[in-house]
Amino acid sequence: MRLNRFYCFAASGGILAVIGAIFALFWGDILDAIIIKEKSITPTSKGFKLWKRPPFQLTWEITFFNWTNADAFLENKATKPSFSEVGPYIFSESSEKVDVRFNPKNSTISFRKRSYFTPVTDNRTAAAQPDDIVTSINMVALSAANRARFWGYAAQRAISFALFTYRQGIFVTRTASELLFEGYPEPMIDRAQEILNFIGEDIPFEGRFSWFHTINASKKAYGVFNMDSGKDDSSQYGLIRAWNYKTKADFADGDCGKFRGFTGDIFPTKIRKDRPLGIFTPEMCRMVSFEFEREEDVYGVVGYRFVGSERTVDNGSLYAENQCNFGGEFMPSGMINITECRLGAPFYMSFPHFYLADPFYRDQMEGMKPNRERHQFFFTIEPTTGVVLNASIRFQVNVLLQQYSAIALYQDAPRSYIPVFWFTRSFQMPEEDVLKLKGLLNVSQLGYIGGFVAVGVGLLIGLLSLGLSCIFKSPPDARGKAERTTVQANGDARGDYQAVQNGNQNKERIKL
């Protein structure tokens, strides 16, 4: 009976060890399933509410380039344009998703994005005031001239006359607040709108110009997104499937022009170091990729830091897969042509101060001082959950100034890339939220620890039980004797006895 008990304990230990091994081996998948369920975007899920109206705000820092020798450069008295920084001007951005529609047939979500900007008072902006005077390129005139070059000679002369009539110049001098959100009246915009309406096009300005007033509180500024919900494949969570009802750009051929990449605010679980991450940017109408740089500690949580590299702002001169970024004009690496994305305005995107760009661009002007700490684009993601811990999105807006033979204002214009402003769009998860995430990750480690502990305890119970069964096991002779005694006892309840002869037995009985 004792041996049977030992064998039962050994079997129980073995079962416990097997269960622990299975739990330890598959705990990663179990944990991933739990996280995916928490992050899922469905009409009633917690993840949907957080995604639709994020509880955190982003910080924008916008720095203008003041063109200090505009007159001298345009009159050929200076060989290079010279620029100095003005700013930064800081704003907080809160956003929401609107016009959300779930598409169960293909497991996607369609939506628009609306952002609200609020000025932020900061010690760093003590010297940056809204009434600071900034000299910059006249984007209204330059955009009209650049678009008119495809309209034929007669249309170009009409634009040339309009520019003269409205006394347009190559550059403008305005206050920072006017250039940012306030805007300044521009009659030329109404004239351009009439011309564009005639040919069936539109511009998002209403008689005044600024760089950001058209995106503030507008749900049309970023276009219509179609995003994978990750329901069928969790690795596709947050990937762009279409933008403005198209899957690729009209101006690009091949895979380069496909709308793809993550939205940038949500990422799937199980982020890997060996795979670059792509983010779709509606401002550039394309995806830009980022590569793993190093692991980074953020309040005790280890994240993967992905950074912008030469590949991010390459235009095909270094990497063939980026050939659609040159926009028909071959340039040195470091700047992306987004003219077709910005209503025909000659826009070019780079990292601030042409960081990681070919020296060709910096050599054309004065005032560029690239710095890795100030100008690197990066974001840090916790790899298990796909949560963004911090990020600094940094880009610079440049325009191309060049001659247009049929437009008088630009007939003698020197060819040059003109930097307009650069911005940082940053996010830092609050420390208390990071610590909550750290606690969740620590608890998740208990799954692995518990599995291995169960394996150890199960093996220990099994081995001890088998060992004890051997120790208390009876010797073979003693076992045989015990078996014979038991058999005899079972055959006669009186036990052992000696046989007596019948004769003697009778005699003894007579005597008695």
Structure tokens at 154: 């007669």
Count of beta carbons in the 10 Å neighbourhood of residue 366: 15
Phi, psi of 449 (to 5 degrees): -60, -45
3-state secondary structure 24-77: HHHHHHHHHHHHHHHHCCCCCCHHHHHHHCCCCCEEEEEEEEEECCHHHHHCCC
357 vs 254, residue with greater confidence: 357
pTM score: 0.81
For residues 34 and 377, give the distance between their C-alpha atoms in angstroms, rounded to a whole number.
Answer: 32
Q: Can you give the pLDDT at residue 506? A: 47
> E strands, 276-386, where?
277-281, 286-298, 301-307, 336-337, 347-350, 378-382
The candidate with the shortest Cα–Cα distance to 146, out of 355, 322, 343, 315, is 343
Q: Can you give the pLDDT at residue 250? A: 81
pLDDT at 495 exceeding the cut of 90: no
Q: Can you give the pLDDT at residue 509? A: 46
pLDDT at 109 exceeding the cut of 60: yes
pLDDT at 417 exceeding the cut of 90: yes
- Taking CA atoms, 25 is separated from 18, 19, 22, 412, 455, in Å, by 11, 10, 5, 72, 11
For residues 24 and 27, give the distance between their C-alpha atoms in angstroms, rounded to a whole number.
Answer: 5
> E strands, 186-257, where?
208-209, 224-228, 240-243
pLDDT digits (tens, 9 = 90+) for 428-460: 999 999 998 888 777 666 555 555 555 555 556
Residues whose CB falls within 8 Å of the CB of residue 4, separated by 6 or more in sequence, listed in order: none
pLDDT at 331 exceeding the cut of 60: yes
For residues 71 and 167, give the distance between their C-alpha atoms in angstroms, rounded to a whole number.
Answer: 16
Q: Can you give the pLDDT at residue 122? A: 66
pLDDT digits (tens, 9 = 90+) for 143-186: 888 988 877 888 888 888 888 988 899 999 999 999 999 988 88
pLDDT digits (tens, 9 = 90+) for 37-77: 778 888 888 889 999 999 889 999 999 999 999 999 998 88
Q: What burial class does residue 100 get, using C-beta atoms within 10 Å of its C-beta: 0-12 exposed, 13-18 middle, 19+ buried?
A: middle
pLDDT digits (tens, 9 = 90+) for 193-234: 666 555 445 555 567 889 998 889 898 889 999 999 988 888
For residues 498 and 502, give the distance between their C-alpha atoms in angstroms, rounded to a whole number.
Answer: 13
Q: Quick one: average pLDDT of 285-297?
A: 92
Phi, psi of 100 (to 5 degrees): -75, 135
Q: What burial class does residue 25 get, using C-beta atoms within 10 Å of its C-beta: 0-12 exposed, 13-18 middle, 19+ buried?
A: exposed
Q: Can you give the pLDDT at residue 151? A: 79
According to DSSP, the β-strands at 347-350 and 277-281 are unpaired
pLDDT digits (tens, 9 = 90+) for 355-392: 999 999 999 999 999 999 999 999 999 998 899 999 99
Structure tokens at 56: 């955190």
Q: What angle do helix axes 187-198 and 153-165 make, rounded to 10 degrees?
A: 160
Q: Quick one: average pLDDT of 106-129?
A: 84
Contact of 228 with 241, CB cutoff 8 Å:
yes
Q: Can you give the pLDDT at residue 510? A: 42
Q: Can you give the pLDDT at residue 441? A: 79
Q: Can you give the pLDDT at residue 205? A: 57
Domain locations in the chain as residue ranges:
57-266+313-374+388-429
> E strands, 68-190, where?
83-103, 108-119, 133-137, 171-175, 184-185
Q: Can you give the pLDDT at residue 512? A: 39
Tokens 């000679």 sit at which residue? 153
Local structure of residue 475 (DSSP, 8 states)? P
Local structure of residue 364 (DSSP, 8 states)? T
pLDDT digits (tens, 9 = 90+) for 465-489: 556 566 666 555 545 554 555 545 4
Upstream peptide bond of 276 is cis (omega within 30 degrees of 0): no
Contact of 372 with 305, CB cutoff 8 Å:
no
Q: Which region holds residue 205: left if phi is over 0, alpha if psi is between -120 and 50, else beta? A: beta
Nearest 10 degrees: CA dihedral of 71, 75, 80, 83? 10
Structure tokens at 176: 């920072």
Residues whose CB falls within 8 Å of the CB of residue 458, separated by 6 or more in sequence, listed in order: 12, 13, 14, 15, 16, 17, 18, 19, 20
For residues 3 and 10, give the distance between their C-alpha atoms in angstroms, rounded to a whole number.
Answer: 11
Q: Can you give the pLDDT at residue 31? A: 67
- Mean of pLDDT over the chain: 82
Q: Give the helix/strand (H/E) hosting 157.
A: helix 153-165
pLDDT at 508 exceeding the cut of 50: no
- Percent of the chain with pLDDT strictly greater than 70: 75
